Amino acid sequence: MDPRGADGRREALTSLTGLRFWAALLVVAYHLSREYHRLPLVSPLVWYGRDGVTFFFVLSGFVLAWSGAGPAVPDRVFYWRRFARIWPLHLLTTGLALAVTALLGAALPLAAALWSLPLLQAWAPAEVYGGNPAAWSLSAEAWFYLLTPRCCGSCGGAATGR
């Protein structure tokens, strides 16, 4: 039985979306625990948060392929949706991270910010990390998004330029 709604799109996978939330929360807790303050009971529990990134990527790829398996969406619409969903929050969090860096009196990593804003920091030399270091995963995610229409298009998934 094909799990499509009246509009031809597949039904939402709310339980898997919920798992993505918990994986992302575990990653955030891991970073906060390791970078800022070790908490006696929480830090050992969130140590495995580093594995949450892999889990999040795999689960997000599945959800993206699942949700895109409906009617064809033009590539530019697919890319715009991904950009509109990720980049504004990325801009805000990078700005906040740079503001905190400045408030702490540390040198502002301007080169890192310039690589980070267009989501290219995962492809940059290691010395340009900074600004919003956790956003490296968005850079990798942007690469996956760039490939998604071509990879999933052949298996009935996201846009294929139609």
pLDDT band at 14 (very low <50, low <70, confident <90, very high): confident
How far is 26 from 33, CA to CA, in rounded Å? 10
Q: What is the pLDDT of residue 5?
A: 53
pTM for the model: 0.69
Q: What residues contact 46, with CB distance under 8 A and at least 6 apart?
A: 26, 29, 30, 33
User: In the beta sheet, which residues pair with residue 10?
Assistant: 4
Whether the per-residue pLDDT at 22 is higher than 80: the answer is yes
Tell me the pLDDT of the chain averaged across its residues.
Answer: 77
pLDDT band at 87 (very low <50, low <70, confident <90, very high): very high
Side-chain half-sphere CA neighbours of 33 within 13 A: 18
pLDDT digits (tens, 9 = 90+) for 97-151: 888 888 888 887 888 888 888 888 888 766 666 777 778 888 888 888 888 887 7
pLDDT digits (tens, 9 = 90+) for 23-61: 888 887 887 777 666 767 777 778 778 788 888 888 888
